[in-house]
Structure 1
Amino acid sequence: MKRMIVRMTLPLLIVCLAFSSFSASARAASEEKYWGSWIERHAQPLDASNASNKDLRFLKKVLKGKRIVQLGETTHGAGEINATKVRMIKYLHEELGYDVLAFESGFPDTNASYLNMDQLTPKSTMKNSIYAVWHTEDVVELFDYMKEQKEKGDPLILTGFDIQSMKNSFNDAATHWVKAVDPEKAELLSQSENDFSTLVTDSNTFDEFSQKKEKLVKNYQKLIKFTKTHAELKENLPKEPKAYEMFMHSLQLRIDVMETYMLEEMKEKLEEYPENIEDFSFFMRDRMMAEQFQWVADTLYPKKKIIVWGHNYHLRKQNTKMIKDWVQLNGPNMGDYLPEQLKKQTYTIGIYAYSGASLDSSDNKTVKPVTSPPPSESLEALLKAADRPAVFVDFLHTKNKKGTSWMYTPRTALYWGFTEEQMILKEQYDGVIWLEHITPSVIITPSVIIK
């Protein structure tokens, strides 16, 4: 009987879904003439030349009740995107009380660098804390600002939520802290950090990897025990709130990454692939980033308002609901993995560009042009109707009507400015920033940073 019901119901369901999709598309097609005029009236112009930041005052209303603001980006390598985010971050900190900035960079590195900020130049803090794609002239301004705010007694606290690491950043700082208490344990930490950074690349078989991993896990467990039983180490850490919690969590994170993410990385290196898509290291990274961010928001800074800096792909609300993402797998992203209680506190902003070019993060040198003109009726093409160089459009507080049905129907938007993705915008973002033109970031070379 159940099989008969399924055989009868399934074709009807398919017909209903097809009709529903057709009806939505037909309605959207009939309402296209209203879209441009709505965008022209409601898109909020952004004016970087406005020193008073009056153009950003709309954020007070838009972000009311939101503890977390996520600032995405379609590409890591565009100067105008970076500059726009830096300007918004300053406003959010000064006017709306957002006091924590969480970067898509390794948790141990960002926190260790923040704890040492007093001893570092802004450029050195940037170099030691965040990934090289953001070692740019426009992002240095942000680190100048953070140092100034800290000296004024109104700090914008830097942290991270990624699990990937930058060799030597955490190692150098943490080894220095431990050495003052126990040089032998400092040597153990330094060697463990070096071995951790090459665990997968220097292992040729799974047995070799497993043996090295087990030894390293025991090393970090010894270091955690040492930290718990030596109160004088806590006294030797930088005099910053939460320094001890950051240090302990960084050590534990090394163990967690080896037991999960690196374990899968090694299997994939040997071409042993999992059956479940979520177990691929690519998606596991997003799951673990969500776990790290949850720890930052709920445990490290539970009473503070937080700004998140990352790529659109990681930050958008639910990649599993994408019609087509850039990898064409629609696997879960960080947004999918975040708990509902954090999602309710979050306003997510995607950033896209109409024209120009950006750097490819694979080498920070290759220039990738933005598809111009963008596809017809894409997000990038539609927002050109605002006739401004930069605009913000709120989705969260916008209802579905003739002028806004483009937010509620399948829409193309460009990953990195040239790869087509398809989505219902309202499902992925609470708002978007649109820039008419972007240019490649200017990467600061290491020799310049060290000066």
Structure 2
Amino acid sequence: MFRTITIATILITCFLSNVFSQDDIKSYITSHENVITNFDFDNENFQDLDSLGSAIGDKRIVMLGESSHRNGSDFEAKARIIRYLYEKKGFTVIAFESDFFGLNNEPEDLGFSAIPGDSVRRLSIFPMWIMCEACAPLFKYIKAKETTSNPLFVTGFDSQLASVYSQKYLRKTLKRYLDSQNIQFAKTGQYAEFISLCDTIINLKKKDTSDFKKVVDYSNTILDQLAGKGSSFYGRVVKCINRFALQQLAYYQLDNKRWTYHADKIRDQMMADNLKWLLLHKYAEKKLSFGHTICMFLKIRMKASIKI
């Protein structure tokens, strides 16, 4: 069965609708569409994706959107495109809208035994992808590439540190790191309370909003005392906790649409900032593809350069 993919249709429509008539928009889209003939992940004939490759050129970043987080056919298409980007265009990193800590932490650096990559992915990537049958061939492919000279790396940029991995490892790993930094805050009684309240944030346990305010205040103090290490990995983890607490505070403090939007904006800005950090630090020399929603492109473009 033939399916048609239209490059950046949503963005084009949003932009052109204020300038051209409906017929003009339709004409523009149909004249710029390219037919993809097969979404079978195991199909190694990528000729139908050549036009996509030409459009990408030598770009370092590619955004892969999806109509929703529950559309299996979108996942199938994206999985094959990821394989194409890896094999034909030199992309070696895929960033999921999933737990930043879980998908970027290196536990052996802090004394923990190394955890197999597939286990980390199962514990850190959100269920709509890691447990989806349509994504299974992709994750099997990623695992097969782990032991090669050219692995396909998986990372995450979501500031919602609520995965099973974070619930299991973040609290004790973060404490181990902060204890090693000899910051003044770690010598106060509030430090133990902060570490304890991390469970409230990570496990999405709704408590009095004063708990979220404490986490915001305590994490701000920690960032101030890290002596320029706020841009380090664990400094960024503390900032994620800070923004996650702010996000939940916005959700629970005022229950209306305007403030729900405000909570989502807090998260979107932090995800954009996390992506920027990954590009500048962890994967500075690599090509990266990411997703998973079309709105993330807009957030990245508008907010990634803003210091949050």
Could you say whether these structures have the same fold, taking a TM-score greater than 0.5 normalized by the shorter chain as the test? yes
Q: 1:217 & 1:133 partners in 2: Cα distance?
A: 32
Residues 281-330 of structure 1: CA distance to partner in whole angstroms, max 9, x if unpaired? 21121111111111111222122111112112223xx3xxxxxxxxxxxx
Structure 2 residue aligned with 1:210: 213
Structure 1 residue aligned with 2:282: 300
Deviation of residue 22 (structure 1)? Answer: 9.4
Partner-residue secondary structure (3-state), 2:285? coil
Is residue 147 from structure 1 mapped to residue 138 from structure 2 by the alignment?
no
- Corresponding residue to 1:281 among 234, 255, 263: 263
Q: 2:121 & 2:193 partners in 1: Cα distance?
A: 24
Partner-residue secondary structure (3-state), 1:302? coil
TM-score under structure 1 length normalisation: 0.50
Partner-residue secondary structure (3-state), 1:152? coil
RMSD (Å) for aligned C-alpha atoms: 4.4
**Is the Cα contact below 8 Å between 1:100 and 1:304 reproduced in 2?**
yes
Residues 238-258 of structure 1: CA distance to partner in whole angstroms, max 9, x if unpaired? xxxxxxx99x41x32343234
Partner-residue secondary structure (3-state), 1:203? coil
Deviation of residue 168 (structure 1)? Answer: 4.2
Q: 2:194 & 2:55 partners in 1: Cα distance?
A: 46
Query: Residues 168 and 221 from structure 1, CA distance in 2 versus in 1: closer, same or farther, beyond 3 angstroms?
Result: farther
Q: Which runs of 5+ in 2 are unaligned?
A: 1-16
Q: 2:34 & 2:89 partners in 1: Cα distance?
A: 21
* More helix as a share of residues: 2
- Corresponding residue to 2:91 among 84, 92, 98: 98
Partner-residue secondary structure (3-state), 1:52? coil
The higher radius of gyration belongs to: 1
Residue type at the aligned position of 2:248: E
- Corresponding residue to 1:198 among 197, 200, 216: 200
Counterparts of residues 201-280 of structure 1 (less than 5 Å): 201-206=205-210, 208-215=211-218, 248-249=232-233, 251-263=234-246, 265-271=248-254, 280=262
Residue type at the aligned position of 1:47: N
Query: Residues 334 and 53 from structure 1, CA distance in 2 versus in 1: closer, same or farther, beyond 3 angstroms?
Result: same
Equivalent pairs counted in the alignment come to 272
- Corresponding residue to 1:137 among 115, 133, 136: 133
Deviation of residue 108 (structure 1)? Answer: 0.6
Partner-residue secondary structure (3-state), 1:306? strand
Deviation of residue 204 (structure 1)? Answer: 1.4
Q: 1:197 & 1:56 partners in 2: Cα distance?
A: 45
Query: Residues 89 and 267 from structure 1, CA distance in 2 versus in 1: closer, same or farther, beyond 3 angstroms?
Result: closer
Q: Percent identity?
A: 22
Greater relative CO, 1 or 2 (CA 8 Å, sep 6+): 1
